Structure 1
Amino acid sequence: MSTSLPVTDGAAPSAAVPQDTPFVLPRWHWARKHPTLIVGALLLVAIAALSIGAPWIATFDPQDIDPLARMQPPSAEHWFGTDALGRDVFSRAVWGGRVSMVVGGSVGLLATGFGVLLGLAAGFVRWADSFVMRVMDGLMAIPGILLAIALMAVTQASLTAVIVAITIPEVPRVVRLVRSLALTLREQLYVEAAHAVGTRLPVILARHVVPNMVAPLIVQATFVAAAAVLTEAALSFLGVGVPGQTPSWGNMMAEGRNFVAVAFHIILYPGILLAATVLAINLLGDGLRDALDPRLARQL
C-alpha cells in the first residue's frame, strides 16, 4: 500500500515562513514608556543650546550699561526688559546659562570621579574603609551650603573656586553609593572566581565591578548636577559665588531683589530659567533611573 506525496518542484516546503512580511520600522515604544526621560532631555538640550549659542543669540552685550533705559519692561527691543543699570536682561540671562551649565557638568563629573575612587577603596580595601567613611561622615555632618560658603570665604571668588567648593560637599553622597554597591558586588561569584584565579584587584575592579555600577552612577551624577546648579545660584545670590560682574542667574536675582516692586522682570526670567534647568536635570535623572533599573523596566 503506497502513500502518495504532494508533488513539489524540488523545493523544500516552507512551512512556518510568513509570506509578504512588511518592513518593520524602528519602534518608539521605549520612548513612550519613559516620557520623563524624553521631556527632560529635550528641555535640557534646549537650554544648553541657548547657552552655547549666547554669542549669536544675545541681542546686546551683557555688560553694556544704558542709564537712559533703566528698568524698562519687556519690549520688542529688550525681550526680557532691562535691569537697574540698563543692561539687557535677555542677553545676561542667556550668558548666565553658561555658568550654570559649566558648574553643573563639572561638579557632576568631578564628584562622581572622586566618589568612585574613594568608594571603591572603602568597599574593597578593608583598612581604608573606616578612615574614608569617617571623613565622609564628617563632611556630611555639615550642611552643604554652609560648607561651600566656608570654602568660598577662604578663597578668591572665581568660577574654579565655586566648582571646587560645591564638589567637596557632593562627594560623600557618591562615596556612600559606590561603597554600598562595592560591598554587594565583592560577594558575587564571578568576583570571587576572579580572585581565586589570581586576577589582580585593579583588573577585577575595571572588568567586573565598575561596569556594574555605571547605571546607578549615571543617575546619581544627574542629581548631583542639579544640586550643583542650585547651590551655585544660592552662592551667587548671597554674594560669595562667581564675581558680581559675571552674568549668572544668581547674580541677576541678587541685583534685582531690591527692585521687585517696580521691575519684577529682573528676577522673573532668570528664576524661570533656573527652575527649568533644575527640573530638566531631575526629569532626566528620574527617566534614566526608570530606564536603567531592570526591576522597574519589567514593571513598565
Structure 2
Amino acid sequence: MTDSSVSAPTAGADVPADHDLRRALRFRSLRKYPMLYLGSALLVLIAATAIFAPWIATHDPLAISPLTRLKPPSAAHYFGTDALGRDVFSRAVWGGRVSLVVAVAVAVLATVCGVILGLAAGFLRWADSLIMRIMDGLMAIPDILLAIALVAIVRPSMTTVIVAITIPQIPRMVRLVRSLALTLREQLFVEAAHAIGTRLRVILWRHVLPNTLAAVVVQATFIAATAVLTEAVLSFLGVGVPAQIPSWGNMIADGRNVVAIAPHIILFPGILLALTVLSINSIGDGLRDALDPRLANQL
C-alpha cells in the first residue's frame, strides 16, 4: 500500500533515491511512534547488560564477604553491598537474566497455547464450550494465588516459575484469539475458502492467523511485562526461583529487613525492575498504535 503523498518512482529512478525514501519513512515513523523506539532502545540496553553480565559484573554475585556487609555505594561497589557482603551491582546485573528469561518464556508459551486453543474455540463449535469453561475457571482464580499454589506443589525452580506464571496468562490470550476468530470466520474470504474445499488447517494458517498477529503480538508484550512483575513477587514471597539465584525479587526480599539502614539494597533492583516493565509496556503501546490503522490515521 503506497503513500499518496509520495509519488511513484519512475522507471529510471536510481537506487539512492529509493534508499532516501525508505530512510525518510523510517524517520517519520520514529516521530509518530517515539515510545515504541524509546522502549525498544531501553529494553535492548537492559537485555545487553544481562547477556554480557559475566563481563560487566565487577564481583562474583554469590561471593560472601562479612567484612564489607551493608556498605553504601562506592567506587569499589557501585550499588553497595547487602547484608552478607555481596556486591549489589553484580547481583543486579545477573538478576536481569532471570527476569528476561521468564518474560520471554512466558510470553512465547502463553502465546502459542493461547493461539492454538483460541483458534480451536473459534472454529470448532464442539470444542468452544469445553475450552472456554476451563478458561473461565482459571480466570476465576487470582493470578498470584494460582501461581503460588502451582509453585508450592512442585519444587521451586526456574521451570516451575515459568509454568506457574504461564498458566494464568493463557486464558487472556485464548479469549482474545477466540473473539478475533469468531469475527474472521464470518468474513467473505474465509467463506470463499470453505466453498472451494480448502482444508480447515490451511484456512487457519493462511487466512485467519495472519489477521490475528497484530493483536496477538501486542498482547504478548503485556504478558511479558506481567511475567516480570509476577516473578519478582513470587521471589519476594520466597516461592519463586531458589534464593541462591540472583534475581531482582530475591534482592528486594533480602533487603527488606535492613531497608532503614541500607536502602540501596532494594533501591537499585527496584529501579531496574520498573525500567524493564516500563520499556516492555512502551513497546506494547507503540505496537498497538502502529499496527492499528484507525489509530495510525489519527497520528
1:207 aligns with 2:237: no
Following superposition, the deviation at residue 252 of structure 1 comes to 0.3
Deviation at 1:69, TM superposition (A): 0.1
Q: Which residue of 2 aligns with 1:294?
A: 293
Query: What do the CA deviations read for 1:219-251 (whole angstroms, capped 9, x no partner)?
Result: 000000000000000000000000000000000
Match of 1:12 in 2: none
Q: Which aligned pairs between 1:45-64 and structure 2 lie closer than 5 A?
A: 45-64=44-63
Residue 283 (1) aligns with residue 262 (2):
no
Hey, what's the Cα distance between the residues in 2 that align with 1:130 and 1:205?
20
Cα displacement (A) at 1:40: 0.5
Q: Determine the C-alpha separation between the residues in 2 that align with 1:195 and 1:299.
A: 36
The runs of 4+ residues in structure 1 deviating greater than 4 Å are none
Q: How many Å apart are 1:162 and its aligned residue?
A: 0.2
Task: Give me the whole-angstrom Cα distance separating, in 2, the residues matched to 1:129 and 1:299.
Answer: 37
Q: Shift in Å at residue 215 of structure 1?
A: 0.7
Residue 96 of structure 1 and its aligned partner are, at CA, apart by 0.3
Alignment partner, residue 263 of structure 1: 262
Give, in whole Å, the separation in 2 of the partners of 1:29 and 1:164. 41
Q: Tell me, yes or no, if structure 1 residue 166 matches structure 2 residue 168.
A: no
Query: How far did 1:165 drift?
Result: 0.2
Highest CA radius of gyration, 1 or 2? Answer: 1
Q: Distance in 2 between matches of 1:228 and 1:30?
A: 29
Q: Aligned partners of 2:43, 2:254: CA distance in 1, in Å?
A: 26
Q: Distance in 2 between matches of 1:38 and 1:164?
A: 30
Of all paired residues, the percent bearing the same amino acid is 72
How far does residue 259 in structure 1 lie from its aligned partner after superposition? 0.4
In the alignment, does 2:129 pair up with 1:130? Answer: yes
Unpaired segments ≥5 residues, structure 1:
1-16
Structure 2 residue identity aligned to 1:105: V
Q: Distance in 2 between matches of 1:95 and 1:147?
A: 27
- 1:137-286 matches, within 5 Å, as 137-286=136-285
Query: Secondary structure in 1 aligned to 2:212?
Result: helix
Letter in 2 for 1:291: A
- State the alpha-carbon separation in 1 of the partners of residues 86 and 58 from structure 2: 11
Deviation for aligned residue 1:283: 0.3
The superposition leaves residues 204-228 of structure 1 with CA deviations (integer Å, 9 ceiling, x where unpaired) of 0000000111111110000000000
Cα deviation, residue 138, structure 1: 0.3
**Distance in 1 (alpha carbons) for counterparts of 2:97 and 2:38:** 21
Give CA deviations for 1:86-119 in whole Å, capped at 9, x if unaligned.
0000000000000000000000000000000100
RMSD value, Cα:
1.3
The number of equivalent residue pairs is 282
Letter in 2 for 1:146: L
TM-score (norm 1): 0.92
Q: Report whether the alignment pairs 1:100 with 2:99.
A: yes
In the alignment, the residues of structure 1 paired with residue 144 and residue 65 of structure 2 have an alpha-carbon distance, to the nearest angstrom, of 35
**Could you say which structure has the higher helix fraction?**
2
Which residue pairs with 2:37 in the alignment?
A: 38
Aligned counterparts of 1:241 and 1:155: Cα–Cα separation in 2: 11
Which amino acid is the alignment partner of residue 277 of structure 2?
V
Q: Distance in 1 between matches of 2:194 and 2:37?
A: 41
Whole-angstrom distance in 2 between the partners of 1:242 and 1:153:
12
Cα deviation, 1:128-174, whole Å, max 9, x if unaligned, reads 00000000000000000000000000000100000000000000000
Q: Report the more deviating stretch, 25-34 or 84-93.
A: 25-34
User: 1:284: Cα distance to partner?
Assistant: 0.4
